[in-house]
Structure 1
């Protein structure tokens, strides 16, 4: 069937070639005819022009004086051309004589187109004046163009200078073309008839041969299809020329449905297999000898043989392939290879030893973790990793368990080739033969050093959180008590102003209460519950401002150095608390350098990546500004460093420190969204690094708070005090009454709302944020403001700050007075709120 198609294709090609040749010949003949016509017209127009010039010269020489020789000559020429028979120019040929008059050409003579529809003159620069314009310009030659009638012509032109005329001889192109179109059509028809007849004759002659070949091919096909092995005939480029049934079935099952013949091996086989077969084919054709090899296709393995197909006295250009399925024999080998690759690429260490614990094999992960290459490890005993963290008894128990045929699971703290310690979780099992005898041991181990460090960080964070919650609650209760004490002491001070002894006693008691307030402030800072006033700050400006203070106060033995980045991102922090934190760090650095030293303060923009933040669960990756305080003092041991952030932990002698300095720094950083890390070595010094999140965009700075001034009076103004602690409410009311306020008081929500609704006038609501009864000071204030829209709000708290989401009625967070507060502080906040309408004054 394929041979019949090839013969038919050959016949069609012959017919197409004949048609192309005939058409090409016609085009060439047409071009030759055009050229001959052009040369003929040139000769004709030149001879006529010379004749006209001769007649003009004769007339000028022989006509009597006074007669117009040019007019006489032109008349003779017109008469001659009128009588001239145009047999030599064809059906469309003619002579045209013209003369230029201004910007037009007057046509004096035309053989054709003499009717009134054609112009007697044409424009000099018009598109139809080409040939006659060239002649009148003194040129001679030929062109293919458009004549005065707009027809496509081939024209020859010549000037008649003696008469000032131009002569054109032309023939229409359609007349030349028509003759050769008819000839080409006739030639093509004759060619098709001849080729078709020859093709039919050839087909009748070779048809019996083709049938014989088809019968022979059918018998060979039946023989090949009876085999279960794959057989195929391939060309030198890997194209499949013939296949038996087994090969076609497997190729179709492999990747594509349909016939395989005519396609390359890469269509049906994996790239690796197709490339291997192509290399073998090239080898066979180059050597002229068979090649045998094995190949794996999916889960099947073939034993292949490729041998050349030789023709008579011709080099081999085709090969035959025979493939026998040996999958069953190779499956176990493939499984072993897969197991080996899995161990080689395992993400955990794998070690195999003999019964005497000599290392026979280690995988690449073992080398990556320990630093011992496979060459260095093989033949050694696993004790090369021992660090001394396990006792001999523990190792003896391990071996006893293994030799009893049991699996041992546990942890090792081992030593790498570099000397670095690392922690790994291991499972060690005996390997037994078919008789149950132990022939080897295999250990599977995973490095958990980083996991252990992360767990330790998490435990420390949870521990600090628990301590913070405890200290925060205690500090809140103390703040309430201290507010009562400080308020009453201030009231007593005013009452005993004339009694010097009682006044001194009251001042001492007030001083002690204020020191207690400072202590609770530090506890709240550690617990991350102190009220903050964050503003956009430049850490470089803060450092420069406080460095001068350090130089004056830390003593001449301490050298202050600044290593500030040229420009750092702004950060959002409470500046006063930041300065307090720096003072605590500077004091600790001074105490760590009893003989003097260098205190260095550094700033830097940096980005904390995921590799860093993965070790600290509460730190988010992103841009930060680093503020580092470094001393070259005595340093700390690892045990001390692990506890320095805990409240009340101190290494200083009794009376020298409260143990709250660094814990306050820790709480302040956490409350500001930052992070603290400490690096220290004994004898080399300590570096405390404070990481502040960079502000997302430039923020306007908050103006400095005003001075303290004198507390104003508020005679006649009405304030509603909301406080669930009765004694504390009593003190607050007394302070405000002394200032001139009309005071309304409430201990719960219902009472507060009732008084707010009933009061004729209400200027200010002063409420605690943390109220008993299920409703916060925010919610009560919002409801009061809904009743009295113009009322001012002032909060107080023992630790809370304004929450992230306020009630809908509160668009802006009201100011806060932190407990414990003094009477002057409270009145200054109220003065700024009521009298100035601005922020409270500290």
Structure 2
């Protein structure tokens, strides 16, 4: 506040000085003009007097004849007689005549002073007349015969052998201007006082408002939780608040005037390669919420989020970086991720445990059946039965073994979790044809039509052939099993869905999936003795390829599964 009051006082003082200087300059110009005009009037008056005296002298010389002294005396008498009747001009103006007598100047006429004593030709007084009697002409501002500073015009008077001077006191010339300056000064003081009073009256509330606003903004900046850094056009730190200093571990004075790259990596302060003058564009936001790695005073890295804005300040560009310390948030995120991974791991272990119990239970029946079939086979061999009976028993045993193998393989796939892919280039047309031929016998045995359709121009696919076959085998198998009797239909279709992606669809006209069944979750299945493991593993395989799998219900009955895969394979 005191600083602003001093600035206001300085402003008033400057206003006073400007007013006084302007008035003084105006008076000075007017005074010089008046002085020049007065000099011109004196010169005209002196010239008129000289011409008149010379005319009288010529007239007297013509009447008297060749006696020059008598003519000069007669002329001088007339001139003196005429000028003694006049009191000069103005208050101090007069016409003076004098002649040189050896080393002295003898005055013949002074309209103001009457008879004057002689002056030495080389003395300090009477400078205008001393020049005139020496035959010089001109003007000067110098002391007269009484030592008064006068404005004088002088000239020789050859007709009388004298010098003539027309002069006026310089004080008389100055007097109107001094009076005007006094009156003007009084009015100027009044006007300046009134102006200063009005300025203070109206400026103080504005200054108070500005001070309040400045204090409020300063408090906001100083107490902000986020760091605030002001950066100039050369990329140097102009200012930073305490929060920014705390984030990077510096005292503000250690950073001000140094490159911002001391705190932030190159490119983070303006969205490209550092805040340089040539990078400054239109005012506005340069970058929003960029996460970068800052550098603390101790050399440690610190994750920060910065928002950079740019604005013109005093005909130059200034960047303002808002810096938010992400260290605590990153630690919290890492802890949450770790907890999430552990929770997922525990959930998966729980699922594996539940699935193990389910599989152990499910394996009981086929293993018991397998044991009974083995005993039957043993009796058939001992009895010497024919080959047809033994072959039938072996076929049933192989079917049971395949079921057990499938169950164990799916469990192993699920328990492994991470899907390791061995990518290959797959011709989808040939792949679908091979798939359809493999499942046609089973479909035909149930009276189900198996159709396939591959859109022309579908490119080859980068994928793990064995795992993709496992996904499609599971979908086709489920589709065939979902159809209760003959007359149903299963279709396999391949087509584009968007650039760089293909869709493999398996549709059936079976009973469909009830709304309450949440497939792709363990133990969620439409089969009485199923585990839902096949679709869970299929989903994990598809996700490992960078794709997606979904299903939809088809009215009036049926289901369609869609597998979307990137043509070029997984990106990571």
TM-score interval (norm. to shorter): 0.3 to 0.5
Higher-helix-fraction structure: 2
Return the TM-score normalized by structure 1: 0.32
How high is the TM-score relative to the length of structure 2?
A: 0.45
Higher gyration radius (CA): 2
